[in-house]
Structure formats: C-alpha cells, structure tokens
Amino acid sequence: MLISAAVLRAADAPYAIEQVQLNDPGPGEVLVKIARAGLCHTDLLGRSGLVGLPVILGHEGAGVIEAIGPGVNGLAPGDHVVLTFDSCGTCTNCLAAHPAYCAEFFPRNLTGVAVDGSTPAADLDGRPVAARWFGQSSLASHAIATGRNVVQVDPGLPLELLGPLGCGIQTGAGSVLIALGVTAGSSIAVFGTGGLVLDPFALASGRNVMGILEGDAVPALFIPRLIDLWQQGRFPFDKLITSYPLGQIGQAEADAASGAAVKPVLIPDPLA
C-alpha cells in the first residue's frame, strides 16, 4: 500500500514528507494506522550514522490495527494499540520479564531494519527505506509492527495522547517505579544534568549505579498501569505534550532539542 511518511535521507538534511510503498504484514506482524507518534530524543540517533539511510524514524506510535499477518493471536483489525519497543520473547531476559534487555534488543530496535536485514518499505523508485526503527517506524501514516510490540488499549481512550507511553514516558516512570523500586512515602532526587565525570569515592558507602533501558518495564503490564494512574489524575503526562502536523517535524525536532517542547507529538498527514 501507499503511505505518507517523514523520511530522513541524510544526517544533515531535513525530513522529507514522501509517499512510500509499504508491504502487507507478514507472519507475526500487524499493520497499524498511526493516529499520533511522539518524537523522542532517541530518534536523533538517526542523524548519528548508527542507522542506514534513508530511514523512517519514530518509536512512540499509537493507532488502530488495520490488518494482521499469519500467526498473530489476540489482536484483530479495529483494535486500538500503543506501539512500544520490540523484543524476541524467547531469550532468557525476555522470559524473565526483562524484555528491555532482550538479547536482540539492539538489532530489533536500533538498526531501522528487521533482524534479517529486511525492511517492509520502499520509495517510489523501488529503493529500500528502513522502516523497522524500534519495530515500528511510526513517523508515518501507517507502520508495520509485531504482535509482541503493540499493547492493546481501551478504544474509549484518547489515542492522541497515548503514543509517548510506548517509550519516553514508560522509560522515565519505569525507571522510578520498577527499576529503582520507589514506593509511596519514599524520597527521590532526580538530576537531569547530562553526562556525569563520578568521584570514585561516591560509591564507596554502598551506593549503586544502574543503567536502565525502557524503565525495565514489561509494556503489556506497565502501559495499562500508567493509563490507570492517569485516569485517576495521579500521572498527568498529557501536560507535557505539544502537537505538530507531521509536515512540521523539523520544527518539532528543533523545539525538542532546545527544550521549547518537552514531548512533541506528530499528527500524520493524510495521504492525498
């Protein structure tokens, strides 16, 4: 099918809104019509040389399933979903409820292509476009994801708010509530100062340093928990959101870098 997408073709170039050919979902895959997609600082890695270009970035999508491939269970067209990071589901860490530390996390999430090197997208000249960034590439009108990296949500919920729960919000909240185990009545200090040059004696009295990916969360369990907290008025993440049409992704990227926007959320352009 023909979709519209924000395509990055060079590290120092602006995004281009292009028509792209997207394959039908294959085994274990789903096709999602994107309602909104958050822009995360990790998307800036697309400009780092880490990812093959051209690429469709975006890994905080929310939308509606339009089609499913063979072998997808528990999901159906019409389901509302939040897209999150991908994982294999079969390695030791996945089976131990630590999918963010999946043995295949980096090839599945940070290359822009599938583990076998394939991509479901091509431009109008037939040239491949990387479209599996974090198993979704959701800065587009549609995305191919897997049955494992979508989380079904109540269709009565506002999809326009839910995309950032798949990565940025999940990472921050999960780091506190899951990885660090902060509980009600506890105290915590958060320093957002960038990289930290540590005094070697800082850890001498039993302190620990922990590297955390995706809040060490199981998305299918944690994203509904965050939604429940939001519905109770105890987790107002929606106040962080600034919305932009997908065609203004350059401005959204600049605002994220400058701090003018805490969480930019892109509205996909309809395909003419």
Q: What are the tens digits of pLDDT across the range 4-17?
A: 999 999 999 999 99
pLDDT at 201: 77
DSSP letter string, 207-269: ------SGGG--HHHHHHHHHHHHHTTS--GGGGEEEEEGGGHHHHHHHHHHTS-SEEEEEPP
Residue 195 one-letter amino acid? G
**Tokens 């001498």 identify what position?**
204
Query: Does the structure show a pLDDT above 60 at 258?
Result: yes
pLDDT in tens, 217-254: 999 999 999 999 999 999 999 999 999 999 999 999 99
pLDDT at 205: 77
φ and ψ of 74, to 5 deg: 80, 5
**Rounded average pLDDT over 167-173:** 95
pLDDT at 272: 38
Answer whether 50's CB lies under 8 Å from 109's CB. no
**Rounded average pLDDT over 138-142:** 98
SS3 sequence, 57-105? CCCCEEEEEEEECCCCCCCCCCCEEEECCCCCCCCHHHHCCCHHHCCCH
Answer whether 147's CB lies under 8 Å from 73's CB. yes
Q: Which CATH superfamily is domain 2-267 in?
A: Medium-chain alcohol dehydrogenases, catalytic domain (3.90.180.10)
Query: Does the structure show a pLDDT above 70 at 196?
Result: no
pLDDT at 103: 97
Query: Does the structure show a pLDDT above 90 at 198?
Result: no
**Rounded average pLDDT over 37-52:** 92
Total length of the chain: 272
Percent of the chain residues past pLDDT 90, beyond the cut: 87
**Rounded average pLDDT over 186-196:** 76
**Rounded average pLDDT over 108-128:** 96
**Rounded average pLDDT over 117-143:** 97
d(CA 270, CA 272): 6
Query: Does the structure show a pLDDT above 80 at 106?
Result: yes
Mean pLDDT across the chain = 94
H-helix or E-strand containing 174?
helix 168-174
pLDDT at 203: 76
pLDDT in tens, 261-272: 999 999 997 653
Percent of the chain residues past pLDDT 70, beyond the cut: 97
Rounded to the nearest 5 percent, the helix, strand and coil shares of the chain are: 30, 25, 50
